[in-house]
Amino acid sequence: MKTQVGIIGGGPAGLLLSQILHVAGIDSVILERQSRDYVLSRIRAGVLEQGLVDMLRAVDVAGRLDREGEVHTGVNLAFDGRVEHIDLEGLTGGKTVTVFGQTEVTRDLYDARDAMGGTVVHEAADVTPHGFDGGTPSLTYRKDGMEHRVDCDFIAACDGYHGVGRQSFPPGTIREYEKTYPFGWLGILSRTKPVDEELIYANHERGFVLCSMRSQVLSRYYVQVPAAADIADWSDDRFWDELRARLPASVADVLETGPSIEKSIAPLRSYVAEPLNHGRLFLAGDAGHIVPPTGAKGLNLAASDVHYLSEGLIGYYRTGDETGLKSYSERALRRIWKAERFSWWMTMLMHRFPEEGGFGMKVQQAELDYLTGSTAAKTAMAENYVGLPY
Ligand code: RFL
Ligand code: PHB
């Protein structure tokens, strides 16, 4: 097989990149390790920045998002028995976020890919990039017991944190920055009415909780659990009791509960790889960086990477100018580090760190009290939450 851009990974980053390239008349092939059903069964992000919404609109994949996505003009912070509202729209001169599941975005991107007759090879095993140091990159993979090869001009590794793209960089060419947190998020999805119209991020003595949603009949809740927590120990009843215990009474009293339809634990980690390319191999999305989910930035960063990378590729194919590709890593990393900073800050502010004791909690409460009482501090938070400009 021959194509212009070989893409590893059929998650949101890989699919969005292929869609943008297709609209610009550039051919790509996606190699995905899992089945389509598996990819579409993963429950992940729920909050989309305007930048991602605009990108989906520009490539005609926003029909359902525009009909079913819910625009949120604010977000709530709960602490010390209080709930404080952050008016995102008012503080940022009209910017908002849209609540629409990553699963739904991915589904719509797959449908668009089908409609354009694009190739996505699912269940592609042992995908391996070759020749990206020079001018003749290729990808090999195995499927149905046969070896296959895709010749391409460039390779985009959109294959997530555990992908093969980053691991293929020659030794010593990548610098990694990492921070792990001593806890994870236990998340459930339930067919219940969300407890509030907007999201609630709550700092509590027993640990952090987040009240989110996918629609008016589908709720998504998370509770902070120790890194070593076992999901088998978390019955639905235990989850709901713990969630209620960590919410201010005014919220807990109106919480609607029901059976979980999905339950999983996600570890929290901050990670950045630098640079994001080696020769003609480029990393985009979780392949190059991870943020803890507290600021809702992971999927949105994947989108801004794809924005910069697609600009570089389109520039190259239109005029032969490689400037955009050469500056991809630097441009993307400038925005990535700001989102890393914000996600780390929000994680440190909202979670219980057992080793910090009562003093740590009091300092967090003081910061939350200051933040929610200061227009300057609220504005800084709101600007970051709605997403910094590309
Ligand atoms: P993905 O989604 O991991 O997709 C990578 C794809 O590559 C495939 N793959 C391979 N294919 C071929 N060969 C290989 N060797 C391969 N190795 C891997 C995988 O099967 C997969 O299909 O990465 P991508 O596209 O970069 O997208 C990133 C986002 O998925 C991620 O950043 C977000 O989900 C993070 N995130 C959130 N982001 C937000 O912007 N807002 C949120 O509200 C938000 N909430 C979350 C989140 C992530 C969470 N978890 C579970 C980590 C909430 C949670 C709980
Ligand atoms: C979600 O709805 O899954 C979600 C929302 C906000 C976050 C993280 C996850 O910060």
How confident is the model over 345-356, as pLDDT tens digits?
999 999 999 899
Of 188, 251, 194, give the one whose Cα is nearest residue 217: 194
Q: How many CB atoms lie within 10 A of CB 231?
A: 11
Kindly report the pTM of this predicted structure: 0.97
The answer to whether residue 300 sits within a structural domain is: yes
How far apart are the C-alpha atoms of 31 and 165, rounded to whole Å?
12
pLDDT digits (tens, 9 = 90+) for 76-90: 999 999 999 999 999
Q: Determine the pLDDT at residue 43.
A: 84
In the Cβ-directed half-sphere of 120, how many Cα atoms lie within 13 Å?
Answer: 26
The answer to whether residue 13 sits within a structural domain is: yes
CATH code, domain with 157: 3.50.50.60
In the Cβ-directed half-sphere of 244, how many Cα atoms lie within 13 Å?
Answer: 12
Q: Establish whether residue 6 lines the binding site of ligand 1, counting it when its CB lies within 6 angstroms of any ligand atom.
A: no
Pick the residue whose CA is nearest to atom 10 on ligand 2: 296
Answer yes or no: are the C-beta atoms of 9 and 32 closer than 8 Å.
Answer: yes
Pick the residue whose CA is nearest to atom 37 on ligand 1: 45
C-alpha 233 to ligand 2 mean position (Å) = 23
How far apart are the C-alpha atoms of 15 and 354, rounded to whole Å?
40
pLDDT digits (tens, 9 = 90+) for 195-236: 999 999 999 999 999 999 999 999 999 999 999 999 999 999
Total structural domains in the chain? 1
Of 221, 194, 182, give the one whose Cα is nearest residue 352: 182
Name the DSSP class of 169: S
Measured in degrees and rounded to the nearest 5, phi and psi for residue 294 equal -55, -35
Strands (E), the chain: 5-8, 28-31, 47-48, 70-72, 75-79, 82-86, 97-99, 119-121, 125-130, 138-143, 146-151, 154-157, 175-190, 200-202, 209-215, 218-226, 260-274, 277-278, 281-283, 289-290
Q: Establish whether residue 102 lines the binding site of ligand 1, counting it when its CB lies within 6 angstroms of any ligand atom.
A: yes
Q: How many CB atoms lie within 10 A of CB 302?
A: 27
Pick the residue whose CA is nearest to atom 1 on ligand 2: 46
Mean pLDDT of 157-165: 98
The answer to whether residue 341 sits within a structural domain is: yes
The answer to whether residue 95 sits within a structural domain is: no
Q: Establish whether residue 339 lines the binding site of ligand 2, counting it when its CB lies within 6 angstroms of any ligand atom.
A: no
Q: Establish whether residue 75 lines the binding site of ligand 2, counting it when its CB lies within 6 angstroms of any ligand atom.
A: no
The answer to whether residue 388 sits within a structural domain is: no
Q: Determine the pLDDT at residue 172.
A: 96
* Nearest-ligand number for the alpha carbon of 15: 1
Residues sharing a CB contact under 8 Å with residue 67, sequence separation 6 or more, in sequence order: none
The answer to whether residue 193 sits within a structural domain is: no
Q: Side by side, which strands form the sheet with 70-72?
A: 47-48, 97-99, 70-72
Q: Determine the pLDDT at residue 146.
A: 97
For residue 305, give the ligand 1 atom closest to its CA: 26
Could you list the active site residues?
A: 72, 201, 293, 297, 385
Pick the residue whose CA is nearest to atom 55 on ligand 1: 44
- The H or E element spanning position 107 is helix 102-115
The answer to whether residue 216 sits within a structural domain is: no
Q: How far apart are the first and last CA of the chain?
A: 34
Q: Which two tokens stand for residue 208?
A: 């952090």
Q: Determine the pLDDT at residue 103.
A: 94
Question: Domain span at residue 14?
Answer: 5-47+101-177+270-346
Name the DSSP class of 219: E
The answer to whether residue 374 sits within a structural domain is: no
Rg (CA), the chain: 21
pLDDT class of 134 with cuts at 50, 70, 90: confident
At 42 the three-state DSSP class reads: coil
Residues in the chain: 390
In the Cβ-directed half-sphere of 220, how many Cα atoms lie within 13 Å?
Answer: 20
Q: Establish whether residue 9 lines the binding site of ligand 1, counting it when its CB lies within 6 angstroms of any ligand atom.
A: yes
